[in-house]
Structure 1
């Protein structure tokens, strides 16, 4: 094509990850799905269309980001320096949201060293655990083999931690890494609910293997101090970029009107990639089996926001493409 035939106004270059139904399909009308706008559209049989409101636009944007394609397995580590801040609840709900909106395989692993409750909150089934999987790990050659050790919450597969307190210290870092090696082979997204604290061997494995790191804390005086200590601890032991790219989730179960939550948020926004506040939710506060249909809309929105921020870091490049390109350049 000659220079005269070239487009004088070329549009922006579009990557493969951007070629989705949401971006390239032209729709005749943008139909509102919920709220009063959706009710008016449905009642008038489409004759009256008030358009999509800002809340629905935000929801659609979150879902679009959550559905970002993945070229290789992505591991998410969720941790906290102390217990009782809602770490397991965050891991469970983020897993449910990702599994609901994505078409690939998502698994949540409970790596707690103290009889973790992730499976209790998601499926209520702890009949098989990661310890059982470790006992047969050398023979696991298919997804069906691995699925024998998981239970199902909606579309999310769950691998329970060892429930016997006498055995719970057994999974060390080497065993954790072996489990993750198998999970990454058969699942697209692997979410680890790590044990509380940062010095346990398996927690060290969580931090080392995580492609994305989520730190859970609370917007209180002691909670903010502990989050700062966590970030400082990570800075001493790893690159500053890793801390800057971490996400912070503030669970507001213990929020107080005497705490300047906005100032807490601004402080940590300067240290982390994103800060998301999860409001108090009566259903989640019971500690019982999680039913997302009973979670408040504002809480659901917070967990979608967390999932969307995490998916922003998903790499759509297929495994091996980068290596092949390097090899070609080196010829």
Structure 2
């Protein structure tokens, strides 16, 4: 109980300026949108300042569906064209989707095939919205996309989603080794989310966590959850207790790193 209280306090910790957290992966199907939605629901549950969840993966992304958005009117590109420093929060929220459990959503597209999010659009929106929201969770495109690489450089913290497979762990280890070679290291502000997609995973997750932690990052394992595997809108009461606990731990880990970033 004391540990859970401590983790909850970490998620609730105050931040001086808007903290931007990106969620990405090295391949599709790793579960990054699911992880972004879980973090969104967790921050909205625990925090009292405004939380924004933003989709920077416009390829018919499923983030609005995962968050239970019934309709989408405006997209990231639309907001980039009208965002001005003089705008108030009430002006901004008119272009966002209110979420039922609190917080706001900005989709990457309106369900159009071929909709694009380029670096200029991403930078414009992220700079414009930073001062309005205590925490922004970004469901980013997969690496090595240009927007994903830009987001790696500019975010306060990063979640790298890894499927609990031998190939997924090996590829992610290679990415972590690459991150250590960058001129400005982002490894210290990166957390790996190891996602288990089947009830009988063949991978030894304990060994996988140990292997990934050798690079210096923290790793949080998200267990198989029948509700998540079914797809559709995520309903927190339907998640198993282990998933809720792991998600809260992940939110605490990544926010601790984001809060300490410049």
Which residue of the other structure, out of 47, 60, 85, is the alignment partner of 2:5? 60
When residues 263 and 115 of structure 1 are mapped into structure 2, their CA distance, relative to the original with a 3 A threshold, is same
- Partner Cα distance (1:225, 1:214) in 2: 17
What is the aligned-residue RMSD (CA, Å)?
2.0
- Residue 164 in 1 paired to residue 164 in 2? no
Q: Describe the SS at the equivalent of 2:21.
A: strand
CA distance in 2, matches of 1:84, 1:140: 40
* Residue in 1 that maps onto 2:120: 174
* Bigger CA radius of gyration: 1
CA distance in 1, matches of 2:96, 2:21: 18
1:233 and 2:181 correspond: no
Aligned to 2:230: 286
Equivalent residues of 1:244, 1:271 under 8 A apart: no
Measure, in 1, the Cα distance between the counterparts of 2:157 and 2:201. Answer: 32
- TM-score when normalising by structure 1: 0.73
Deviation (angstroms), 1:311: 2.5
CA contact (8 A) 2:23 2:32 kept: yes
Structure 2 CA distance for partners of 1:316 and 1:224, relative to 1, 3 Å: closer
State whether residues 220 and 254 of structure 1, in contact with CA within 8 Å, keep that contact through their aligned partners in structure 2: no
Contact 1:71 1:316 survives alignment (8 Å): no
Q: Name the CA shift for 1:116/1:140 in 2 (closer, same or farther; >3 Å).
A: farther
1:207 and 2:155 aligned: no
Shift of 1:255: 6.8
CA deviation profile, 1:97-133 (whole Å, cap 9, x unmatched)? 1111111111010000312111121032323211221
Q: Deviations over 1:185-221 (max 9, x none)?
A: 21111111101222x2221221121110110002211
Give the conservation status (yes or no) of the 8 Å contact 2:164–2:197: no
Q: 1:219–1:252: 8 Å Cα contact kept in structure 2?
A: yes
Residue 134 of structure 1: which of 45, 57, 80 is its match?
80
Larger relative CO (CA 8 A, sep 6+): 1 or 2? Answer: 2
Relative to the length of structure 2, the TM-score reads 0.92
| SS of equivalent to 1:277 | strand
1:253 to 197, 202, 214: 197
Q: How many residues were matched structurally?
A: 259
1:277 matched residue in structure 2: 221
CA-CA distance at 1:138 after TM superposition: 3.6
The alignment partner of 1:259 has SS state of coil
Aligned with residue 109 of structure 1, among 54, 77, 83:
54
Q: Which residue number in structure 1 is paired with residue 163 of structure 2?
A: 218
Residue number in structure 2 paired with 1:183: 129
Write the distance in 2 (CA, Å) between the matches of 1:205 and 1:89: 22
Structure 1 residues 286 and 256: alpha-carbon distance in aligned structure 2, compared to 1, 3 A threshold: closer
Q: Distance in 2 between matches of 1:304 and 1:246?
A: 16
Structure 2 gap segments, 5+ residues each: none
2:257 aligned counterpart, secondary structure: coil
For residues 75-105 of structure 1, the C-alpha deviation after alignment (integer angstroms, 9 at most, x for no partner) is: 1011101010110010111111111111111
Q: Tell me if structure 2 keeps the 8 A contact 1:85–1:217.
A: yes
**Would the aligned equivalents of 1:72 and 1:316 in 2 still touch at CA under 8 Å?**
no
SS in 1 for 2:194: strand
Unaligned 5+ segments in structure 1 are 1-55, 320-331
SS of residue matched to 1:191: strand
> Deviation of residue 134 (structure 1)?
2.0
